[in-house]
Amino acid sequence: MLTQVDRQILKSWRQYAVEPRLAKITGRVMRNTGPRIAIIGNCQSFGVAYAMKVLDPSATVDHFSMIARARSTMGLFAKTLETYDYVFSHDFLDGHVRGGGSEELCKRLPKTMIFPAITFAAFHPDLVYIHDLSRMHGFVCGPIGPYHSAIALFAYRKGLSVEMANALFNENVFDALGYFDMWNDASRELVDGTRDRYGLDLSAELMNWSRRGVFMYSTVHPMSFVLFDLSKKLFETVGLKPRTVNFNYYAIHDLARSEIFPIYPSIAKRYGAQGGYMFKLQNHHISTTVGDFLTLPQYIASCYKIYSGHDPSQLSNPRVDAWVADEATSGLLMRLARENFVAGLTPTL
């Protein structure tokens, strides 16, 4: 079965080698007369590719999704990308293309510009992943895909009931865990990381994003205007002139089709935003169904059911492991769960 990358390679050669000749024979005027741009990467890369097309409608902008394992070899992939004027790529590991990852691509194609994936944890400090060590780049999936609540996982591992786990989702618990103090660390990680690793200064962009309120759907899924600003930065870095355009008018919120982790109310309040406990399930078929959501009790119950089907050794996360191992932290959380439950502090919405 061909992956998106395999199909895009075939499409690219048709666009590059076949369509111009057909246009010459038929007299058809080519619509895309600008630069050829390739975008390679993870789930954020489509948003970057789309934004670049908005920035230059005359450009041919092709998106290569590095999520599944492609049949194509790195040799064919690099040869295909040679036909592009500009190549932008996220870091990607061996296995997505046979014969190497982004490091090998850069060796074969030095014009490749590696660009950052935007991550920011301050809005969703409770979101963690559970790695599945049996699969390459694999994760244990919960009710909303790979996104897990550290608090819910802790509660399950300590044997708390769903109702007692529900009582942990309160301001006193978030305060005890340091969830209100993550903005500065998240900002430094984003700004310093993109500057030191990729040579891009996003400090002004981060300030503008924060002025707009919440700008992430999860720790790894930014909103479309974030990816638009990143695309402008990439254009300017390679000497392309971005078009002046109102992106809000043309924006496609592609990552909103995926899972959305809520911003808990007391955390949202700190940032002047509205929060809640509504967990959105992924829905990539939005043209045929509106999708579904889970309340907090439903989410916790679903987590418990899924976790019960796994060996305890498979439910490991460094942060939660540390909480469980530390008697003071574990004891504090257990006490707060009991006190909040007795006080009737079991939020749902």
pLDDT at residue 196 greater than cutoff 70: yes
Q: How far is CA 222 from the centre of its chain?
A: 7
pLDDT at 74: 93
Cross-strand bridge partners of residue 349:
none
Using DSSP bridges, classify how beta strands 279-280 and 138-139 pair: parallel, antiparallel or unpaired.
unpaired
| Exposed / middle / buried, residue 45 (Cβ in 10 Å: 0-12, 13-18, 19+) | buried
pLDDT at residue 99 greater than cutoff 80: yes
Supply the pTM of this predicted model. 0.92
pLDDT at 131: 86
Q: pLDDT confidence of 20, banded at 50, 70, 90?
A: confident
pLDDT digits (tens, 9 = 90+) for 108-148: 999 999 999 999 999 999 999 998 766 655 789 999 999 99
pLDDT at residue 27 greater than cutoff 80: no
pLDDT at 69: 84
Q: What is the mean pLDDT of the chain?
A: 93
Across the range 151-176, mean pLDDT stands at 97
Cross-strand bridge partners of residue 260:
280
pLDDT at residue 18 greater than cutoff 90: no
CA distances for 38 relative to 86, 244, 247, 279, 321, angstroms:
6, 21, 20, 34, 41
Which of 39-53, 154-168, 275-289, 322-336 shows the lowest mean pLDDT across its residues? Answer: 275-289
- The candidate with the shortest Cα–Cα distance to 180, out of 266, 273, 296, 279, is 266
CA angle 199, 203, 205 (to 5 degrees): 105
pLDDT at residue 292 greater than cutoff 90: yes
- The candidate with the shortest Cα–Cα distance to 320, out of 163, 119, 149, 167, is 149
Which of 75-89, 192-206, 286-300, 326-340 shows the lowest mean pLDDT across its residues? Answer: 286-300
Which residues have C-beta within 8 Å of that of residue 14, sequence separation ≥ 6?
Answer: none
pLDDT at residue 286 greater than cutoff 90: no
pLDDT digits (tens, 9 = 90+) for 222-246: 999 999 999 999 999 999 999 899 9
CA distances for 250 relative to 36, 50, 85, 126, angstroms:
21, 10, 25, 32
Q: pLDDT confidence of 334, banded at 50, 70, 90?
A: very high
Cross-strand bridge partners of residue 64:
40
| Per-position DSSP letters for 61-98, written without gaps between them | EEEEE-SSPPSSBHHHHHHHHTT-SEEEE----TTSBB
What gap in Å lies between CA 339 and CA 348, rounded to an integer? 17
Across the range 71-75, mean pLDDT stands at 91
Q: Are 320 and 154 in contact (CB under 8 A)?
A: yes
What gap in Å lies between CA 58 and CA 45, rounded to an integer? 19
Q: pLDDT confidence of 32, banded at 50, 70, 90?
A: confident
